[in-house]
Amino acid sequence: MDAEDYRTTYEAEVEAAKKKAGEPTSRAKGGSSRGPTTASLLKTIRDPQARTADRTAAIGELSPRARSQAKVIETLIALLADTEDSPAVRTAALALLGELSFAVGEFQPHRSAYRDALRAAATDPDRKLRERVLEILALQGDEYAQRLIVEGLQEPSQALIHERKAVQYLSYDVHGEHQDVLRDVIDRSANKHVRNGALRMLAADSGSKDLFAQIVQDKDEDVEARSISAVALQSLAPDEFASAARDVVLDDDDDDEVRAALLTALRQDERRYDSDLGAELSRRQPTMRSAPLAKAAGAYIARSTEPDGEPG
């Protein structure tokens, strides 16, 4: 075999390996002129009888120039909207469309159709695909997506995505109305990760401060939930937090970890110092079983002697 033949054979083997792995080939990168044309790639992409791997590879092989062509974008959008086609192929189309949507000028004529396809796919039979689609729509503040997500939280049998994802996606819109739904999730969900996620999403919601106050003081609550609630309450309603935290700190039957965390938070509020609390902590500190609690108590007591402290 001469060198030229060896080189040609070697290149063909490399291209075949890339294609098999779904990687962009040299032609897709604007390199070698050998390889499929845009027309042949589109033919493969559109063919529901073709192998899934070939179709997704064809999507990956589209050159940067080809990707900006209207017929390519329209093909990808039509694919995304076709709920009877392969989820894997449609997911690949969605990924590429997501990239292309950043090209504001070129993509603008297709933006309405793209959102239509996203909305059509929001109730797709494939869970992963509809999760991705709903997240994209939720990030855009889409009313239809928000409505679907809320319906799923209100009626779990109709949920399109996991509760934790639903809570996360609703939080993307600060102008949304998900607060009541999130409070309901906190009230009924047995999944502590979901509950704590919902609590975090409500952290800036002034309508939830009573809920936060209740959780902070509830000894039966999850420790993390109480911590999240404490942080939120201190931001939303510092006076109410100080009162609730004080009660917990002085309750020897409560969780020491929580008591220490709340005491630390109270100490960090530079605008107030409760001298009665300080005096009571001074009396109890020598007999505190928990080292972190005793340390937090010591730090709080020390505030009474700081130059900028204002005895309450």
Partner 1 sequence: MANPASAEDELEATVAAVRAEPSTRHLLVDLLAESSPVYEGRGMATTARLRGWVLAAFEDVGLPAEACPYVLEELEIGIEPHLVAAAARAARGGERHPELGPCLLAAFENLVNRDDTVTFEAFRPRWPPERPTTALLEILETVRWLGPVGPVTAADWRDQQQRHGDRLSGAVAAALAETVVAVDGPAPALMGCCGSPEPSLGDEEEPVPRGWEGVVVEDQDARRYPLGSLLSNGPTVVAFFYTRCPNPNKCSLTIRQLAEAQRLLIDQSIDDQVGILALSYDPGYDGPDRLLRYGQDRGIRFGPTARLARAVAGHDQLRAGFRLRVGYRDTIVNRHAIEVFLVDSAGVIVATWARRRWDPAEIVGQAAALTAGPKVTPDRLPIPSDRAETGYESTRPQ
Phi-psi category of residue 141: left, alpha or beta, with phi > 0 → left and psi -120 to 50 → alpha: left
Q: Confirm or reject binding of residue 80 to partner 1 (CB under 8 A).
A: no
Which of 84, 174, 289, 305 lies at the binding interface for partner 1 (CB under 8 A)?
174
Question: What span, in angstroms and rounded, lies between the C-alpha atoms of 179 and 248?
Answer: 27
Residue 259, SS3?
A: helix
What is the closest distance, in whole angstroms, from the C-beta atom of residue 82 to partner 1 in the complex? 11
Name the one range near partner 1 by CB under 8 A: 84-92, 110-118, 210-218, 223-231.
110-118
User: Does 183 engage in binding with partner 1 (CB under 8 A)?
Assistant: no
> Quick check: 55 and 44 in contact, CB under 8 A?
yes
Say whether residue 84 binds partner 1 (CB under 8 A).
no
Separation between Cα atoms, residue 161 and residue 127, nearest integer Å: 7
Is the Cβ of residue 34 or residue 147 nearer to partner 1 in the bound state? 147
| Closer residue to partner 1, CB minimum distance, 183 or 295 | 183
* 138/233 Cα distance (integer angstroms): 27
144 touches partner 1 (CB under 8 A)? yes
304: Cβ contacts below 8 Å, ≥ 6 apart: 273, 275, 278, 311
Q: Which of 112, 158, 243, 268 lies at the binding interface for partner 1 (CB under 8 A)? A: 112
- Contact residues for 150 (Cβ-Cβ < 8 A; gap 6+): 170, 178, 181
Q: Provide the 8-state DSSP code for 101.
A: T
Choice from 20, 111, 192, 219 touching partner 1 (CB under 8 A) = 111
Contact map string, positions 145 to 164, toward partner 1, x by CB under 8 A: -xx-----------------
Q: Residue 10 burial (CB < 10 Å; 0-12/13-18/19+)? A: exposed
Determine if 81 is a binding residue for partner 1 (CB under 8 A). yes
Residue 177 touching partner 1 (CB under 8 A): yes
Residue 122 found at the interface with partner 1 (CB under 8 A): yes
Fill in the per-residue mask, 123 to 142: x = in contact with partner 1 (CB under 8 A), - = not in contact. x-----------------xx
* Binding of partner 1 by 178 (CB under 8 A): yes
23 or 144: whose CB is closer to partner 1?
144
Q: Does 166 bind partner 1 (CB under 8 A)?
A: no
When binding is defined by CB under 8 A, the residue of 3, 175, 253, 305 that contacts partner 1 is: 175
Rounded Cα distance between 100 and 154, Å, is 35
Residue the block writes with tokens 């994802």: 165
**b/e per residue, 223-259, with b = 16+ CB within 10 A?**
eebbbbbbbbbbebbeebbbebbbebbeeeebbbebb
Using CB under 8 A, which residues numbered 251 to 310 contact partner 1? 271
The only residue of 180, 184, 252, 306 in contact with partner 1, by rule CB under 8 A: 180
Half-sphere exposure of 129 (CA within 13 A, CB side): 26
Q: How many residues bind partner 1 (CB under 8 A)?
A: 36
Hey, what are 147's tokens? Answer: 């409505």
Instruction: List residues binding partner 1 (CB under 8 A).
Output: 81, 104-105, 108-113, 115-116, 119-120, 122-123, 141-144, 146-147, 173-180, 205-207, 237-239, 271
